[in-house]
Structure 1
């Protein structure tokens, strides 16, 4: 929370002031605001922040609004802002419930302005840097080296026959997911191909995927996990939104899971097809189904050196619920199907979510060296120790 603490400090003051503006006492406004963060990733920290609010600021609500939007803009686009939108919408609804909507014109207008401003901020995600695009050539090394590395990948997890459906990337077929399937199968999962040829990310695949999901569900008499790479993750999320009763969880690998209609990517410029219309123009309604967040566990694997998809589009709102995870790995977009870290995260999260555990409880200590998050923490510890040593020295 350290990077966004300033945002939550000003945002909680904004929603508290909104409550006071509409007739609540400061205490009741704080209680209402705190209630909306139940289940939030930083729930405990935010409650402390709200408890420390001791001033009625409803007369300064416009200044609080502007400062909140300014901080969001300075922090940059983020899927996590959906949690803020949800909170301010819920506060507004709780205040106005059972009353004449005309009495709450200002409050409703403020919420609408907030949503629009956040949408504008989230449209500012740029194309992947040119360096990342050039470095996509790494995928040749990743796909070549996996043959040598595969025998050494740990195989401790027991899948116990759990069903997993794998969906290939845009322009890929079942060969694209062969190593992920092979690894999961070696752990005891029952894996299923999508068997629909090359994935062109068209909406007409959905009925056949729904039939396949229903068949697997009926055969196993238990919920199915879906793993989708890149464009395959689009289908995984749409299926999860449509059939949460049949799906255990979804894991997306370098997949754009939100904001696709505004996404900037070289893929669209190079690979337009079918009567000259782009993917977005042909599938507007289909892609709109990506925006809702499934009410099941979601894991998004992404790489900040992705050369094809802006990595921020590959992360779900992890602050919204504790069963939503974003896990960064090293590698290229095109090589994620042959990336050792991806294979490990996929297997570990499948089991962690099934067992209701954290990923560290199913993975090994040695695996942590494969993930950027480990090195970021190690760097922070090193810098802290170096600073302490310098202070002690003087």
Structure 2
């Protein structure tokens, strides 16, 4: 949080100044900001900044605008910036009722310029380094070792017959999700296969997926959880955006779920070979459905040593809502379907979201040792005695 605190301080000043520009009083702008940040993971740090905010009668909005963009650029690409855009939009919506037409037009132009600058920053996500791609060879060991490891994976979560649909990765079929399905079934979840052969991540699968989702929903009379690995997570998010009334939650595993149109990957040529055409000819409408955040709980599992997909594309904005979580694991992209940590966190997350718990509450102390957030927390506590570790 320390490295983002300066950004939030400057953004709060900028957002308030934008409100003033559009006819709001400082107190009215602060009220909107307090409400917007109330459920933010770092609200304890941010709310006092808003409470103590003071601005000149004519703040230099151009300077504050440039400072915000500079800080975002220095922090680098991040899905979290969508939260800033939503807050600015909320302020403009409320301010438009108080301001003049001219004020509204000026403020709107500032907002759209800010949105464009953020989009430019998020285009800078690099493709995975060559070293990570070479590390993908360890997936052979991961898939071979899961047969020996599987019997020892804890089976304490109670699925209670809750329906779960699993969608395989790009170029994968139902065998790809066999260990995840087997594990969830052993815990009492009712799992369902993809049953459409190899997943080529094309929009023509969607009507059949919608039909399958509806069938499962009608059979159980309950909302369905969807788990998607890699390209499968793309469909999980689209289903949740289209049918939030039938989807309990989604869980994505190493899935590029935003910014896919401009995503850089070292396997670009391979993807084009199997598609038979340039990736520039992607279905734009299909991919645009990935950008909105669905109104259901979202859990994203990712690995920073992913050799195929840039890991930043695999994270959703935790600051957007309090039921969005990003969980880092150790492993390769190709081995995530046979990763013991992935199996456990999948079950834990499904159970936590169904029962209204946090991931920490659903994960035992012994299991936490398998995740980077445990070791990062230990390192921070050792280095900074008064540093408050951010919740995962």
TM-score for the superposition, normalised by structure 1: 0.95
Match of residue 390 from structure 2: none
Matched, 1:5 2:5: yes
Tell me the equivalent position of 2:27: 27
Aligned residues: CA RMSD: 1.7
3-state SS in 2 of match to 1:53: coil
> 1:102 aligned to 2:69?
no
Secondary structure of the corresponding residue to residue 23 of structure 2: coil
Secondary structure (helix, strand or coil) at the match of 1:266 reads: coil
1:263 partnered with 2:284: no
Q: How many Å separate the matches in 1 of 2:6 and 2:103?
A: 32
Structure 2, unmatched stretches of 5+, are 386-392
Alignment of 1:223 with 2:223, yes or no, is yes
Counterpart check, 1:213 vs 2:213: yes
- Give the corresponding residue for 1:124: 124
- What do the CA deviations read for 1:309-347 (whole angstroms, capped 9, x no partner)? 000000001111000000000000000000011001100
> SS of the residue aligned with 1:271?
helix
Corresponding residue of 2:289: 289
Answer with 47-56 or 226-235: which moved more: 47-56
For 1:1-394, list aligned pairs within 5 A. Answer: 1-56=1-56, 58-97=58-97, 101-273=101-273, 276-279=276-279, 281-384=281-384
Deviations 1:130-188 (A, max 9, x none): 10001000100100110010000000011010000000000000000000000000000
Q: After TM superposition, give the deviation of residue 363 of structure 1 in Å.
A: 1.8
Instruction: Please tell me whether the aligned partners of residues 268 and 278 of structure 1 are also in contact (alpha carbons under 8 angstroms).
Output: no
Aligned to 1:391: none
Q: Aligned partners of 1:253 and 1:297: how far apart in 2?
A: 15
Deviations 1:202-261 (A, max 9, x none): 000000000000000000000000000000000000000000000000000000000000
Cα distance between partner residues in 1 of 2:384 and 2:45: 23
Residue 390 of structure 1 aligns with which residue? none
- Cα shift at 1:53: 1.2
Judge conservation of contact 1:280–1:287 (CA < 8 Å) in 2: no
Query: Secondary structure, in 3 states, of the residue corresponding to 2:225?
Result: strand
Tell me, yes or no, if the aligned pair for 2:23 and 2:100 is still in contact at 8 Å.
no
Q: CA deviation at 1:25?
A: 2.9
- How many residues were matched structurally? 387
Q: Distance in 1 between matches of 2:172 and 2:190?
A: 21
Quick one: distance in 2 between partners of 1:20 and 1:380? 40
Mapped partners of 2:345, 2:299: distance in 1: 9
- Cα contact 1:155–1:186 (8 A) shared by 2: yes
> Is the contact between residue 172 and residue 199 of structure 2 (CA under 8 Å) also seen in structure 1?
yes
Report SS of the residue matched to 2:294. Answer: coil
Residue 57 of structure 1: CA displacement?
Answer: 6.2
After TM superposition, the score normalised by the length of structure 2 is 0.95
Contact 2:217 2:246 in 1 (8 A): yes
Query: How far is the alpha carbon of 1:285 from its aligned partner?
Result: 1.1
User: In structure 2, what is the Cα distance between the partners aligned to 1:57 and 1:180?
Assistant: 58
Structure-1 separation of matches of 2:279 and 2:2: 38
Secondary structure at 2:272's aligned position in 1? coil
